[in-house]
Amino acid sequence: MPAIHLHKISTRAPKGLNKDQTKEKTAKLLEELDELQNLLYAQSKYSILVVIQGMDASGKDGTIRAVFGKLNPQGVMVRSFKAPTAEELSHDFLWRIHEHAPAKGMIQVFNRSHYEDILVTRVHKWCNDKLAKERMKAINDFEDLLTRHNATHILKFYLHMSPEEQQIRLKERLRDPRKQWKYNENDMEEAKIWKLYMMMYEDCFQYCNKQPWQIIPSDQHWYKEYLIASALHKLLKGLNMQYPGLKK
């Protein structure tokens, strides 16, 4: 796979793309996704793992609410991975991840994921390059295990936001009472090492690509939501699922 250079990829929708028309397309996709998810759940032959990564304020929570929040909550589970607990640190780094892998018929969304263990850990020197490469191999093997032995289909999204847009959103968290609970003083410090994070992400895309990454321009929420809804729709539609009929 050719190397990905994030600074060469736009963070915005193509010029001339109509916002209102795109939002209408997204609404139509979400209507169809409701039925496709019902098929997935009823057939219980496949499972879907959706990995959402991105810098602070890239819109991970909003994306989950806008796209997956429209689906039947019986068939969707969301797991947010924050700093590991003492118990989690006493196991291998994938231990806390594996128990949340999706069962057949389910869509599991990871809000941040196992990739944090080769991103933030490398940026802050908690994980050296040698260990990171070992973890990358383990991640590839883990995802291969899910796809081969649990009929899991994996969608991996990186929400690609510009540093300028991040600053706007972080400062908005200070002003907007509805968003102040999200504010974390550390976010501003992390933003100062943006370029280092981009390097680690590019390394991640290069070496953990057996299940391909999709780079999602995310400066505009309406475009980001359209792209993710489209990718999920395309995947589910391509499974050619059928209702199982009466049980014998």
Residue 25 lies in a domain: no
How confident is the model at residue 1, as a pLDDT?
A: 65
116: domain CATH number?
3.40.50.300
Number of Cα atoms under 13 Å in the Cβ half of residue 244: 11
How confident is the model at residue 14, as a pLDDT?
A: 97
Using a cut of 0.85, tell me whether the model's pTM lies above it.
yes
Q: Are 241 and 44 in contact (CB under 8 A)?
A: no
pLDDT tens column, 21-48: 999 999 999 999 999 999 999 999 999 9
How confident is the model at residue 6, as a pLDDT?
A: 98
Residue 215 lies in a domain: yes
Residue 231 lies in a domain: yes
Residues with pLDDT less than 70, the chain: 1, 248
Which residues are 108's β-sheet partners?
49, 77
Which residues are 47's β-sheet partners?
152
Q: Are 105 and 43 in contact (CB under 8 A)?
A: yes
How confident is the model at residue 240, as a pLDDT?
A: 96
- Write the DSSP assignment of 154-220 as a string of letters: EEEEEEE--HHHHHHHHHHHHH-TTTGGG--HHHHHHHTTHHHHHHHHHHHHHHS-SS-EEEEE-SS
Residue 166 lies in a domain: yes
Task: Please state the domain count of the chain.
Answer: 1
Contacts of 197 (CB under 8 A, 6+ apart): 55, 119, 123, 190
What is the rounded distance in angstroms from the CA atom of residue 227 to the CA atom of residue 222?
9
Residue 35 lies in a domain: no
Residue 111 is classified by DSSP as E
Contacts of 31 (CB under 8 A, 6+ apart): none
Residue 119 lies in a domain: yes
How confident is the model at residue 16, as a pLDDT?
A: 96
Residue 4 lies in a domain: no
Question: Which structural domain, as residue segments, surrounds residue 80?
Answer: 44-238
How confident is the model at residue 196, as a pLDDT?
A: 97
How confident is the model at residue 103, as a pLDDT?
A: 96
Residue 7 lies in a domain: no
How confident is the model at residue 2, as a pLDDT?
A: 77
